[in-house]
Amino acid sequence: MDKQQGLGTNKIRDSTRVVIKLAIAAVFAALVWVATLVLTVNVPATTGYFNVGETVIYVSALLFGAYVGAFAGGVGAAFADMLVAAQFAPGTLAIKAFEGAIVGFLNKKFRGTSRSSWRILTAILGIVVGALLAAVGSAYYTGEVQLFLGYPAPTNPTFTIFVPFGTWYLLGGIVALLVVLMGFRLDPESGQAVFSMMVGGLEMVAGYFLYERLALGQTAAILEVPVNIGQMVIGLVVALPIARIVLRNLPQLKS
């Protein structure tokens, strides 16, 4: 009798945890939807757009794991795309779901990994991202660059800026140095989080390039690579301190 009662209690607890996680995932999906739409910079050549939704995806995955990160990222961002760029919604559902799942999974998987291992991996990824940003940005975004703010995209650019050729190499170097320093200077948990977000972010960058090129047939898909790298870097820089503050005040979330 006692054993049966214990099994019943465990089932209730498991069911309660599932319900709580679903509720948390739904809340974060709504937050991803808001963050995706609150600031948009259009890329007319691909009909895509820059947004800050990555920040919330990363926070949800770091705090609550792969399943919450996947649901929040895929569903929240896909619903946003359905409103402003419906052709991206099917791809976004898969790409952003995988992104959230990767971040949540790797952040948990790498717990206990040696400090030197994730330092080396983070440094390699930082250099790759910086080099990619410098190469693509300098090739396609030098000279006069037009920015289109808001959705639907305005007919005329909101403003035009002049970007010197060397700016992208400077930005690429800064990004690479920033990531390498973060990997070497931060505590192990934060370093693992940085590595996890970078791997998830690179999946997002590659995923949209392939989706636009193969599914949508856009020959200009390469133009979104620097934009999506920017989303990843900004999301990483903002999400990390938020997650650290939350975990410091609610350490029970680590379990």
CATH code of 53's domain: 1.10.1760.20
Successive 10-residue mean pLDDT values, the chain, 255 residues: 54 74 94 93 86 96 96 97 93 98 93 81 92 93 81 76 90 93 84 93 97 93 93 95 90 72
pLDDT 10s digits, 56-75: 999 999 999 999 999 999 99
Which secondary-structure segment (H or E) carries 68? helix 66-84
What is the domain count for the chain? 1
**Residues 34 and 52 sit within 8 Å (Cβ to Cβ):** no
- The predicted pLDDT at position 61 comes to 97
- The predicted pLDDT at position 252 comes to 76
Q: Is 145 helix (H, G, I), strand (E, B) or coil?
A: strand
User: Chain centroid to CA 216: how far?
Assistant: 22
Domain that holds residue 53: 2-254
Q: Is 156 helix (H, G, I), strand (E, B) or coil?
A: coil
- The predicted pLDDT at position 90 comes to 96
Q: 143 Cβ partners below 8 Å, 6+ apart? A: 162, 163
- The predicted pLDDT at position 1 comes to 47
- The predicted pLDDT at position 255 comes to 60
Q: 78 Cβ partners below 8 Å, 6+ apart? A: 89, 90, 92, 93, 96
- The predicted pLDDT at position 130 comes to 95
d(CA 191, CA 183): 5
